[in-house]
Amino acid sequence: PTTTEAPTTTEAPTTTEAPTTTPGPELPNTGTSNNTAVILAGIIVTISAMFVLVSKKAEQN
């Protein structure tokens, strides 16, 4: 014979509380945003360097 009754427990459910911590000083928000000017400057420097290398190679021939 099978029973369909739910098992009963006598223990009360335990709740886990998060430890209380005091928040420290907030850190500065660095390195999370894209700086378009730096990216654009890098692209310009790269293109300029390629132009200089091609020009020097053309002068040698």
Does 53 have pLDDT greater than 90? yes
pLDDT score at 27:
84
Domain boundaries, the chain: 36-61
Per residue in 2-48, pLDDT (tens digit) is 667 666 666 666 666 666 677 789 888 776 667 888 899 999 999 99
| pLDDT in the model for residue 8 | 66
**Residue 54 pLDDT > 90:** yes
pTM of the full predicted structure? 0.44
pLDDT at 29: 76
In angstroms, rounded to a whole number, what is the distance separating the alpha carbons of residues 26 and 28? Answer: 7
Rounded Cα distance between 34 and 18, Å, is 35
